[in-house]
Amino acid sequence: MKGAEIEGAREVSQHDLDALGDLAGHMRNQKLALCDLVSKAGPALAQQATVEEGLVAAHEASRAAHPRGIMGAMSMSEIQSPRRLAWRSALGAAADLLLPPVCIGCRARVQSHGLLCGDCFAGIEFIAPPLCARLGVPLPYDVGAPSLSAAAIAAPPVYDRARAVARYSQTMRDLIQSFKYRDRQEGLALFGRWMARAGAELLADADLIVPVPLYRSRLWWRRFNQSALLAQDVARLASVPADCFVLKRVRRTVSQVGLSAEQRKRNVAGAFKVDPARKSELKGKRIVVVDDVITTGATAEACARVLSRAGAARVDVLALARAVEPAAFVL
């Protein structure tokens, strides 16, 4: 019970932080003109406005964490004359009339494209410190120094550190499955910003980002690799190169859904391989493996194992969601 209360308090404090970020974001972003909107439109709009400002704050935080990334991504074509900007905003307004912005989760109307409504945002359980230094799972209390969860001590992972944006809640599951299986990619930019923020510590001195690859027949059916799309977005924001070809899935594996931890481990054993012609490129590199979800960690560990064997100095893992065991006690 106590753990649940602490967890609740932590989530509340994360929301408080977001709310502070909201205020700062408001000062910077006149476009949303939120105070005015909120005072006129009542609580429902206030809730949505807070969500959107939270997302702006997240973007601002990632901008602060990776100034090189944002500047690096900026091109001359983005520095436009006021006249061009006016045209662009008029065209944007016309496009919004034809194709109104909807929540990327439930399709309810929202203020801008690629965002969540208040209800869906409330269903996302962001993972916030204190975290287990290895597994990245939340710990029930902060002991000051970097701490490990009981699970990380009992069975240390092959990878060095893992971080994820949020728990694999029902809302996250729905968002990821829409992205993966129903080709709904309008949330990609938001997911990328979230991941760049959650993985800031791993990305700060990383040399290379490597997505978990799909087997070629699955890639053919699905037409895209969701992890590669996420990896490219994170790479752009963090100014770290991404390589979608150095790691290959050489064996077709059955879906991990419904398998036990042991079955998952066996399912992915020997499934990944580093391109032999490029093995030397990985020597001494600090690599961040990107995946959509970490459940038992079997896939992440299988990837980390082959990358370490190829000579990588460090292999970390960054995911959009992570299944979190309820009893991740600090030791």
* Region binding Zn ion by CB under 5 A among candidate stretches 17-25, 92-100, 116-124, 214-222: 116-124
Nearer to Zn ion, 15 or 279 (CB): 15
Nearer to Zn ion, 103 or 274 (CB): 103
Asked whether position 38 contacts Zn ion by CB under 5 A, the answer is no
Asked whether position 65 contacts Zn ion by CB under 5 A, the answer is no
Structure tokens at 281: 């490129």
* Region binding Zn ion by CB under 5 A among candidate stretches 13-21, 52-60, 115-123, 258-266: 115-123
Nearest-angstrom CA–CA distance, 163 and 160: 10
Asked whether position 49 contacts Zn ion by CB under 5 A, the answer is no
Shortest gap between Cβ of 102 and Zn ion (angstroms)?
8
Helices (H), the chain: 2-28, 34-65, 67-73, 82-98, 118-122, 150-154, 170-181, 188-198, 200-203, 216-222, 226-238, 261-268, 298-309
Nearer to Zn ion, 109 or 283 (CB): 109
**Residue 297 per-residue DSSP state:** S
Nearest-angstrom CA–CA distance, 146 and 131: 8
Nearest-angstrom CA–CA distance, 40 and 114: 24
Nearer to Zn ion, 117 or 237 (CB): 117
Rg (CA), the chain: 21
What's at 211, amino acid-wise? P
Shortest gap between Cβ of 117 and Zn ion (angstroms)?
3
Give the DSSP per-residue string, 309-326. Answer: HTT-SEEEEEEEEE---S
Shortest gap between Cβ of 171 and Zn ion (angstroms)?
9
Structure tokens at 33: 């003109």
Shortest gap between Cβ of 257 and Zn ion (angstroms)?
24
Nearer to Zn ion, 120 or 198 (CB): 120
Shortest gap between Cβ of 188 and Zn ion (angstroms)?
17
Asked whether position 103 contacts Zn ion by CB under 5 A, the answer is yes
Asked whether position 117 contacts Zn ion by CB under 5 A, the answer is yes
Q: Is 32 helix (H, G, I), strand (E, B) or coil?
A: helix
For residue 156, which phi and psi values (nearest 5 degrees)?
Answer: -60, 135
Nearer to Zn ion, 185 or 263 (CB): 185
For 6, how many CA atoms within 13 A lie in the half-sphere containing its CB? 13
Structure tokens at 256: 């991990």
For residue 167, which phi and psi values (nearest 5 degrees)?
Answer: -65, 155
Asked whether position 188 contacts Zn ion by CB under 5 A, the answer is no
Asked whether position 105 contacts Zn ion by CB under 5 A, the answer is yes
* Region binding Zn ion by CB under 5 A among candidate stretches 50-58, 68-76, 117-125, 297-305: 117-125
Asked whether position 106 contacts Zn ion by CB under 5 A, the answer is yes
Answer for which of 51, 120, 165, 206 binds Zn ion (CB under 5 A) is: 120
Q: Is 186 helix (H, G, I), strand (E, B) or coil?
A: coil
Residues at the contact surface with Zn ion, assessed by CB under 5 A: 103, 105-106, 108, 117, 120
